[in-house]
Structure 1
Amino acid sequence: MKHTLSVLVEDESGVLTRIAGLFARRGFNIDSLAVGPAEHEGISRITMVVPAEDKSIDQITKQLYKLVNILKVHDITSIPCVERELMLLKISGFGNKRPDILEIVQIFRGRVVDLSENSLIIEVTGDPGKILAIEQILKPFGIAEIARTGKISLIREPKINTEIF
């Protein structure tokens, strides 16, 4: 199972290296990693997607807390969250299929951020499922390059019914 971990850390050099080293020593892969400033100055939020069993995640969480500069570790996998990713996708050599591609981009609420005679670059933001869906739909048109951010996530407020979103 893939787990999403939200980790608050002091914004000091070497923190990410220590975290990555911990995962490497334990033989865990990190599928997705996003790091950026958090709500308070000097604090960063790291969002990681890690394939692991529940027992292993508990062990990793305990080991993360032993590292210097770790403030809070939260497994948010089963908690209602807002999740987003950003993907840039370049399509080349599409011939007369441009109108079809533009229609798909519009349906997915993406936008064209660069256009030339032979290629276009599309920007899509959304939950990981949406990102995967547009990538699969556009694959037959000839994807030349893809760049994706890692997943970022924030926990929804309690008492909010997430089933209607």
Structure 2
Amino acid sequence: MLTSGLVLGAAGGGFNGGDILFQLVIFLILLALLRKYAWGPLMGIMTQREEHVANEIKAAEARRAEASNYLEEQRELLKQSRTEAGQLIENAKKQGEMQREDIITVARAEADRLKESAKREIVQEKEKAVAALREQVSSLSVLIASKVIEKELSEADQEKLISEYIKEAGEER
């Protein structure tokens, strides 16, 4: 029975402090090894990953802010371009209007100059025609007078006859 008591005592759940102490020491050693070789590097990797994600978020926010600034600059440049284009169009219209007015003024001045030139030419031609007519009238008058009278006229009589013929010729017009 003795042998059966030993077996019964071990299997009977008696308190064995050496096993518990041994298991506790092994557990603590295992914890120390896990902390040194597994927990530390794992936490380092997690910290690095956290920093990497934070840096990526900051970079993305910076790129978003930069894109927003760039978009605003582009909008401002577009607005300036539209304003400048409007000003260029307005200036071109004004310049075209001014050129039109200049062309009209020059054309009117040229027309007036041509008109005055034509008037002077007409007056000159009229004076030439009148002078030629006077010469012809005086020649014809002298010829007619000499044939009608068949005598020699004095210079004063001849002038008087010429003036009368000229007046008659002017009245017939």
TM-score (norm 2): 0.15
- The structure in which a higher percent of residues are strand is 1
Q: With a CA cutoff of 8 Å and minimum separation of 6, indicate the structure with the bigger relative contact order.
A: 1
TM-score (norm 1): 0.15
- The structure in which a higher percent of residues are helix is 2
